Amino acid sequence: MQTVAFHTLGCKLNFSETSSIARQLEREGLSKVEFDAVSDVYVINTCSVTDNADKECRMLVRQIQRRAPEAAIVIMGCYAQLKPHDIAAIEGVDLVLGAAEKFNLATHLKALQKNEGAKVFSCDIDTVDEFHSAYSYGDRTRSFLKVQDGCDYNCSFCTIPLARGASRSDTVANVVAKAHEIVAMGVKEVVLTGVNLGDFKYVENGQSVDFYDLIKALDEVEGIARYRISSIEPNLLTPAIIDFVANSKRFMPHFHIPLQSGNNKLLRLMRRRYQRELYADRVAAIKAAMPHACIGVDVIVGFPGETAADFQITFDFLHELPISYLHVFTYSERPNTHAITLPDIVPMAERKARNQRLRELSIKKQVHFKEQFIGQSRAVLFETAGKEGLIEGFTDNYIKISAPFQENLVNQLILTVIN
Ligand code: SF4
């Protein structure tokens, strides 16, 4: 095997892990090629959140078989942990690696023989307790740095704890070391990522260490211009963290905070660990400390038991909050979740209609947010060539900016007038 190609589905965490595993294989002598090229090995890193994870996986395997019938096909990631034998039954698949084995890909490839039937290396998720650090490099200007994995929460709609296991964290020392590695590669912006990022914690010499300690240490790393906190649960976003970000050298005024519903009845059914009042308090605290801060919100519509009146309460709550954009998800039934046993199912057409209303609200919020900064100069980290000869980048408070492409703008922080 000389060449390897990767395709990643899902979240920033998956991208950070694919990128680190690819660097491992390159150190073993394999060359990384594009996914649409002919390769000796193809690796698909799957996601379990989307409700058509299996369809996507099957479609990619068929594509590979048409392009390179002799190639070895490896499936790993969250869907592979949840449904290893379903995936092994897909014609063409040679290797299925669960949550604990994906980091041993190099070893498994050495033993792999094509056409010997799919080999499955997976285990009970409750036995998965090792933390593997990872960060992405090369496919974007920003680097996704994994600092935490797994989750101890049990939100009633979620399969992630079943796919990634219990919450576990890297150490501050190791994360800081990774940040220095990333600086040495010329990366200016690091996005901290995990499954339940704010739950970063461990005990060292009898001392408990948490997310606040981590961001304090990272803020001292010379060479990193910007950090973003990819997503943080509202109950874990403490006033101390908000205050720290407001006064920090490198943490951006940008918070992505999953809400899921603006209705306390639904938050209880979802087994979320807060009521909407706490969420509103966090938003108010952020805006008090950083009026220019960008706040992104995850919200699920059409959850069992959500009446039209319940949804209107969520809509009005979001309409009133000074937030900047929404990521809207239509509730979809996931096997082995508590939510699948709940009564009062919302018809799919109604779920989609509610999704549409919140997407329209999100557009209004984005326009209103950007309007506040028209004419102001803010630092933009220009990334790579965008569409139609443009280059794109984001301001500190996550406003997307594009400008005519110039090579010397790539990966540069430029003070730019917002228009
Ligand atoms: S916090 Fe809830 S939604 Fe998020 S990963 Fe954990 S169980 Fe899933």
Domain positions in the chain are 3-123, 129-252, 256-372, 377-417
Please tell me the predicted confidence (pLDDT) of residue 387: 74
User: Which residue is closest in CA terms to ligand 1's atom 1?
Assistant: 153
* Residue 387: how many other CB atoms lie within 10 Å: 8
| Ligand 1 atom closest to Cα of residue 195 | 5
Rounded distance from Cα 301 to ligand 1 centre (Å): 16
The pLDDT value recorded for residue 51 is: 67
Report yes or no: 87 and 96 within 8 Å, Cβ to Cβ. Answer: yes
SS3 label, residue 191: strand
- Chain-centre distance for alpha carbon 288: 27
How wide is the angle at C-alpha 263 spanned by C-alphas 259 and 267, nearest 5°? Answer: 60
Fold of 3-123: Rossmann fold (3.40.50)
CATH topology of domain 129-252: Transcription Regulator spoIIAA (3.30.750)
How far apart, in whole angstroms, are the C-alpha atoms of residue 154 and residue 108?
33
Residue 365: phi, psi to the nearest 5? -65, -45
β-sheet bridge partners, residue 149: 168
Centre a 10 Å sphere on the Cβ of residue 123 and count the other Cβ atoms it contains. Answer: 14
pTM: 0.95
Strand pairing category for 413-417 and 72-77: unpaired
Q: Are 11 and 47 in contact (CB under 8 A)?
A: yes
Q: Which of 11, 76, 10 is CA-nearest to residue 41? A: 76
CA–centroid distance, 154 to ligand 1, in Å, is 6
Which of 49, 152, 195 gets mutated to test ligand 1 (max ligand atoms within 8 A of its CB)?
195
**Closest residue to atom 2 of ligand 1, CA basis:** 155
Partners of residue 119 on adjacent β-strands: 95
Q: Please state the atom number of ligand 1 nearest to the C-alpha of residue 272.
A: 2
**In this structure, what is the dihedral angle of CA atoms 257, 368, 306, 258, given to the nearest 10 degrees?**
-10
Contact 94, 74 (CB under 8 A): yes
Give the type of residue at 120.
Answer: V
Q: CB neighbours of 117 closer than 8 A, spacing ≥ 6?
A: none
**Residue 49 pLDDT:** 78
Integer Cα distance of 330 and 300 in angstroms: 6
Strand 142-146 relative to strand 189-193, pairing: parallel
- What pLDDT does residue 72 have? 95
What is d(CA 151, CA 131) in angstroms, rounded to the nearest whole number? 12
pLDDT of amino acid 53:
75
Q: Measured from the CA of 152, which atom of ligand 1 is nearest? A: 6
Whether 283 and 233 have beta carbons less than 8 Å apart is answered as no
Would you list the DSSP string of 316-332?
A: HHHHHS---EEEEEE--
Using CA positions, which residue lies closest to atom 4 of ligand 1?
196
C-alpha dist (Å) from residue 119 to 98, 125, 149, 304, 372: 11, 18, 25, 38, 56
Distance (Å) from CA 206 to ligand 1 centroid:
28
User: Given the CA of residue 158, which atom of ligand 1 is nearest to it?
Assistant: 8
DSSP one-letter code for 221: -
Within 6 A (CB) of ligand 1 lie 151, 153-155, 158, 160-161, 195-196, 233
Tens place of pLDDT for every residue, the chain, 419 residues?
Answer: 899 999 999 999 999 999 999 999 999 999 999 999 999 999 999 998 766 777 899 999 999 999 999 999 999 999 999 999 999 999 999 999 999 999 999 999 999 877 788 999 998 999 999 999 999 997 667 999 999 999 999 999 999 999 999 999 999 999 999 999 999 999 999 999 999 999 999 999 999 999 999 999 999 999 999 999 999 999 999 999 999 999 999 999 999 999 999 999 999 999 999 999 999 999 999 999 999 999 999 999 999 999 999 999 999 999 999 999 999 999 999 989 999 999 999 999 999 999 999 999 999 999 999 999 999 999 999 997 777 889 999 999 999 999 999 989 999 999 999 99
The answer to whether the Cα torsion of 271, 275, 276, 280 is positive or negative is: negative
Residue 113 pLDDT: 77
The CA angle 327-330-335, to the nearest 5 degrees, is 120
pLDDT at residue 5 in the model = 98
Contact between 159 and 144 (Cβ < 8 Å): no
Note the pLDDT of residue 346.
98
How much distance in Å is there from the Cα of 404 to the middle of ligand 1? 40
Beta strands, E only, 167-250: 168-169, 189-193, 201-204, 207-210, 226-229
DSSP character for 380? E
Task: Identify which of 153, 164, 270, 297 to mutate to test ligand 1's pocket (most ligand atoms within 8 A of the CB).
Answer: 153
d(CA 417, CA 55): 44
pLDDT for the residue 139: 63
Q: Hey, which of 158, 257, 331 would you mutate to test ligand 1's pocket, going by the most ligand atoms within 8 Å of its Cβ?
A: 158
Beta strands in 98-141 (DSSP E): 119-121, 134-135
Whether 285 contacts 242, CB under 8 Å: yes
**How many Å lie between the centroid of ligand 1 and the Cα of residue 281?**
21
In this chain, the answer to whether the domains covering 3-123 and 129-252 adopt an identical fold is no
For residue 377, report the distance from its CA to the centre of ligand 1, in Å: 37
Q: CATH classification of 256-372 is 3.30.70.270, yes or no?
A: no
d(CA 318, CA 313): 9
The residue whose two tokens read 């935490």 is 148
Output the CA 156–ligand 1 centroid distance in Å. Answer: 9
CA 155 to chain centre: 17
Are 100 and 127 a contacting pair, CB within 8 Å?
yes
Distance 237 CA to ligand 1 centre (A): 15
